[in-house]
Amino acid sequence: MFPKPIEKQSQAAQVAYKSMLPVALLFWLAPLLAVALFSVKPDADFTSGNYWGLPSSFEGPANYGQVFFNSDMPRYLLNSFMITVPTVIGAVALSAMTGFALGIYKFRANLWIFFMFVAGNFVPFQILMVPVRDLTLELGLYNTKTGLVLFHVAFQTGFCTLFMRNFIRALPFELIEAARVEGVSEWRIFWYVVLPLMKPALAALSVLIFTFIWNDYFWAVVLTQGIESQPVTAGITSFNAQFRAAYHLMSAGSIVAALPPVAMFFLMQKHFIAGLTLGAVK
């Protein structure tokens, strides 16, 4: 038998891929749909074992109202913003300057310093749990938002520097040379020439780091405790009672906690996609 024409093969492949999209989408949304279902169920459904069935009564407004008005969730959300926003600003600002230095200037230790930033990304952060906790205790930063912010800035700077350095190296070097010929200082070149060109990369990196830090649970539990400093990811567990878990309140709190990163992505979607795809096509 003769093989099918290429056009027919491509059409068959497209049909097969399109038929797989609903299945992939279902697998992707299944956990979110389960959490959303749990968040509108009454507590009696869980005590009776009705975990995956339809809710016996719709208690969505009551559950979300209890999360907002009868719990410490607003304080946990405020803590998350007070931790995430300074971390994003600090990590992006440091990485923009280090990326500029490593991407523009040529000196002997340039590549070795860059490798040090990259190597830090391959260290499993779990093995740093005890040393970092002891360090924060010695510095008086344990159970403080400042300590968590400083740690996140230090840990995220390596990845951010890798991102920024590669982005800056792709910029036209002629612009920098022209500015130097005109006698512009290096600081003004960075501020007025390079930084405006980095806006797509800054937006993309800000969205990524915002999502990473907001969703962090491990370090939130290791370095903080209590309502004064814990972010929302760790604060959701406060809905657990001594002998049982309030699944309906934890699910409602999880939905609320997921809204800021989603809103951040949609607000910065245009710049985020531009930053990730810039340089992909010439």
State pLDDT tens for residues 85-129: 999 999 999 999 999 999 999 888 888 999 988 888 888 888 889
Q: Cα separation of 79 and 149, whole Å?
A: 11
CA 83, 132, 236, 156 torsion-angle sign: positive
Q: Cα separation of 218 and 234, whole Å?
A: 9
pTM of the model: 0.85
Q: Quote the pLDDT of residue 25.
A: 78
List, for residues 124-153, the tens digit of each pLDDT value: 888 889 999 999 999 999 999 999 999 999
Task: Calculate the alpha carbon distances from 196 to 47, 114, 184 in Å.
Answer: 57, 23, 16
* pLDDT band at residue 32 under the 50/70/90 scheme: confident
Helix 199-214 × helix 73-104 angle, to 10°: 140
DSSP string of 121-166, one letter each residue: GGS-GGGGHHHHHHHHHHHT-TT-HHHHHHHHHHHHHHHHHHHHHH
Which class for 45: exposed (0-12), middle (13-18), buried (19 or more C-beta within 10 A)? Answer: buried
CB 263 within 8 Å of CB 115: no
CB 203 within 8 Å of CB 209: no
Nearest residue to 45 via CA among 56, 35, 37: 56
Mean pLDDT of 50-77: 88
CB 232 within 8 Å of CB 80: yes
Output b/e per residue, 198-222; b: 16+ Cβ within 10 A: bebbbbbbbbbbbbbbbbbeebbeb
Write down the domain spans for the chain. 6-59, 69-276
Mean pLDDT of 162-175: 89
Mean pLDDT of 219-231: 91
Q: Quote the pLDDT of residue 171.
A: 87
Mean pLDDT of 245-259: 89
CB 175 within 8 Å of CB 110: no
User: Domain 69-276: what homologous superfamily?
Assistant: MetI-like (1.10.3720.10)
Q: Cα separation of 62 and 90, whole Å?
A: 39
Which amino acid type is present at position 172? P
